[in-house]
Each structure stands twice: as structure tokens, then as C-alpha cells.
Amino acid sequence: MAGYEDRLGHGTAVAALIHHLNPEAELFAVKIFEAKLATSLPAVVRAIDWCLVHEMNVINLSLGTVNTDHRAMFELAVERVRRAGALIVSALEIDGAPALPGSLTGVIGVSETAIGSLLEYQMFERYGKPVYTAPSFARDIPGVPRDRNLKGVSFAVARISALVARARTGNRDEHSWFQEVLPSFTSNT
């Protein structure tokens, strides 16, 4: 993880959206991408552990993998996060297949709100746990149509991460239902 320069713009755009939705949140950049939007399982797990050492309480992972060989390592990382009282927010699925770590119990899984949906944010159950949908576009840019803006599940994950961080601080808003469901993700029993 060399330097803080974001050569791809992905992390910067995700952080900008989180900050836009929750300006009080303290953001930390943990770089796992270098020249392309691909990384390794050890890099992701090191990043998760770095977040725990530095007492981050919401870990935004705007990524996922369908490689089931990674399940055991992700389950161990999720257990460490749970024991620390922190939360991971991650992509629920990739092309309709369960993604890791987002589909795991103890992780807040996020998918994109269906195009044309009247509700921007929804909660439903899949994989035996509550999961969430959110709009998948970056912040609106005046004069730029949404279909020409950055978009994808990474931005849906960022939106839910911002709401989770706000709910964990006790700030109530129109999405205060997070206060009721968050204890199920952080229960130490």
C-alpha cells in the first residue's frame, strides 16, 4: 500500500459521497487498490485488521468477491470485527451471486436500488439476514445526468455506510430504522 495518491479515483469518489451524506463522520483512507480495481484477499484482511487496531467502528468495503475459497478467511475477519464492536458494510452480490464478505452473517450487505423503484432505501431479508438497498450513483453533479455520472454498487455501499455511521452516533434522521437493526449486527452473544 504505497502512498495516498488515488490513481483510480474510486476511493476518493466513495469518500466524497460518505462525507456528503455524513459530514460529521471521521474518514480514514485505507488503500487496497493500486493501478486497477482489483486486490488480494490478504490485502483486504490486512486493511480490516488495520481498521480494528485503529479503532474504526464502521468499515466500508465497496467491494466483494464470489470466490468461495475466501469464505473461511472472511469469516474469521468478520468475527474479529464483531468482537471489536465494529461493523463491515459491503456489497451483497455480484451479478446475482452472493458476494463475500457482504453475504456473511454479521456483515451489512448492500445491493443497488432497482431502477424505477419508488423507495430509495429498502430493507429486506436474504441469505438469512437483513440486507439493504440504496441508490447506486455518486453525488449529483449540477448539469450532469445521473446516467453519465459515476455509478455502481460501491456507491450504494457508501450510502449505507454513511447512514450506519450516523446511526451509531445516535443522530436520528429519516433513516432512523438503522438504530433498531444495528444491535443485531454488533451483538456479542
Q: What is the pLDDT of residues 9-50, one digit of tens each?
A: 567 788 888 998 889 989 998 877 666 667 889 999 999 999
Domain ranges of the chain: 10-184
Q: Mention the CATH class of domain 10-184.
A: alpha beta
pLDDT at 1: 43
pLDDT at 187: 46
pLDDT at 51: 96
Per-residue buried b or exposed e for 67-81, using 16+ beta carbons within 10 Å of the residue's own CB: eeebeeebeebbeeb
Extract the C-alpha cell encoding 132.
Answer: 439493504
pLDDT at 163: 87
Segment 82-135, tens digit of pLDDT? 999 999 999 999 999 999 999 999 999 999 887 666 667 888 889 988 888 888
The 3-state DSSP class for residue 163 equals helix
Say whether pTM exceeds 0.85: no
What secondary structure does DSSP assign to 99-144, as a single string? PBTTTSTTEEEEEEPPTT-S-SSEEEEETTEEEEEE--B-S-BTTB
Distance (Å, rounded) from C-alpha 159 to C-alpha 136?
Answer: 8
pLDDT at 169: 73
Grade residue 6 by pLDDT with cuts at 50, 70 and 90: low
Distance (Å, rounded) from C-alpha 17 to C-alpha 135?
Answer: 12
pLDDT at 182: 54
* Helices and strands in the chain, H and E counts: 5, 7
- Could you tell me if 33 and 8 are in contact, meaning their C-beta atoms sit under 8 angstroms apart? yes
- φ, ψ for residue 146 (rounded to 5)? -55, -35
